[in-house]
A = this chain, B = another copy of it.
Amino acid sequence: MEKVYVVKVGGNIIDDDAKLHQFLYSFAKLKGKKILIHGGGKLATRIGEALSIPQQLVDGRRITDAETLKVVTMVYAGYINKNIVAILQSHGLSALGLSGADANIILAHKRENAAIDYGFAGDIDSVNSNAISSFLGNDFSLVLSPITHNGKGQLLNTNADTIASEIARALSKLYSISLVYSFEKSGVLLDVEDESSRIPQINPDYYQELKSENKIFAGMIPKLDNAFKALDQGVSEIIIGPAENLEELINGATGTKITAI
């Protein structure tokens, strides 16, 4: 099967102009079919506060009331998505920036009856892999913002890590998928304060051991849980590591590979 890279880029990269440009240059140079998934939470928080809309995060997830939904739709699907597309075009990449509502790419439903009311937070029901495959087949590189919809006219705010793993999973029936979580760290670290403590490879047994010894940074656990779930469901390879040089990351010179055995 043909290879497709599904690359999630972290918020700290989006928020730093120099790092974002370096990442996008690296993404544009990556050969083959590819999809970029971004958030942009820090800018959304700043714009929300400037508009006197108080922003509240619980466990790193945003409480999305109606006004905050407007803010994240403006920031993620508008400002950040279109700037990324324009920069990628300047590197000669035929980029196509979409939300989950466009071409009905991601259908979701509003999360109900959770212990915490996250407001207009969307949990994914389905990924339109036919539409994505048709765009990839026309040599477009996709840039996805984490705004989804419920099919009834309602936009929803969805976690970008989850979108990356759900897209990887759905496309794994059609392609050999490398799912890449790129961010500002060297990879999964044994000591979160020490960038040199990178773990080059983690399999399920080792992950259980690390978790039981509390050696995994809390913020990394949702990423790793998503990663192992995606591996179980057909994704070929999952890589977590620095965003500045995707070729080195994919080759294993940096970062952490998550493997099934």
Contacts and interface: CB of A to CB of B under 8 A. Distances in A.
Contacts of A74: 47, 74-75, 78-79
A33 interface: no
Interface of A: 47, 50-52, 70, 73-79, 81-83, 85-87, 89-90, 94-99, 101-104, 134, 138, 140, 147, 149, 151-155
Contacts of A138: 134
B51 A86 contact: no
A151 B86 CA distance: 7
30 contacts: A47-B51, A47-B74, A50-B51, A51-B51, A70-B79, A73-B78, A74-B78, A74-B79, A75-B78, A77-B79, A78-B81, A82-B99, A82-B102, A83-B155, A85-B99, A85-B101, A86-B153, A86-B154, A86-B155, A89-B153, A90-B151, A90-B152, A94-B103, A94-B104, A95-B103, A96-B98, A97-B98, A98-B102, A103-B140, A134-B138
Nearest to A153: B90
Nearest to A107: B89
Contacts of A51: 47, 50-51
Nearest 3 CB-CB pairs, A to B? A78-B78, A74-B74, A90-B153
Contacts of A85: 99, 101-102, 149
Given A51-B51, A77-B81, A81-B77, A86 B70 contact: no
